[in-house]
Amino acid sequence: MEYTDEPLEGLKNKKIDKSVWLKLEQDFEKQQEYLQHFWNTTLHCQLFIKCHFTLRKLRRCVFKVLRSSSFKVWPDIRWKEVVSKFPDGFTHKFLYWTTIRVFKKFKTYSKTPLQELVDYGLDITRSKYPRRNCKLRTLTLNEYGHLEEIYYKDKLKISFF
């Protein structure tokens, strides 16, 4: 917020200028690519998603959306279309990185028909992930301008059509 002169809500789904990333790179001594990746795959979602869910449930929802889609193989997936089925605050990169982790041991995932991948993903999330049922920690700014964790009572709802 201090680098962009925008309020927090003004940063939702906004493309941040490269000059801002370069200033952040200097101040935090981290590469701007890493900072952009962290913003798009983690922090943006923690700040702007206003519902409670586990990552396993999210993955299952993504697989169900992919099952009802017209995509044939993994590289065909248009994640910006997929993210439109989810509530406000999700990013396409967050959905991609959350989902691709299921296939890290599936070597030929990019050439396998998508329906087979979806079945594999649903099976893996049903059987292998019960012990890894992590939730996304949602954050908010308190009155002092510090981030603190917040719990939302609303559950994740998606639209398939």
Judge whether 26 and 18 are in contact, CB under 8 Å.
no
Measured N-to-C along each axis, helices 55-67 and 114-127 cross at an angle, to the nearest 10 degrees, of: 160
What mean pLDDT comes out for the span 114-135? 79
99-120 average pLDDT score: 89
Global model pTM greater than 0.85: no
Where is pLDDT greater, at 143 or 96?
A: 96
pLDDT, position 160: 45
Would the pLDDT of 151 be above 80?
A: no
Nearest-5° Cα angle at 4, 80 to 16: 25
Residue 57: partners with Cβ closer than 8 Å, 6 or more residues away:
156
- Asked whether the predicted pLDDT for residue 94 surpasses 70, the reply is yes
DSSP 2: T
Q: Which whole number is the average pLDDT over 103-118?
A: 89
* Cβ 124 vs Cβ 86: under 8 Å: no
Residue 115: pLDDT above 90? yes
- 62, 160, 66: which is closest to 113 by C-alpha? 66
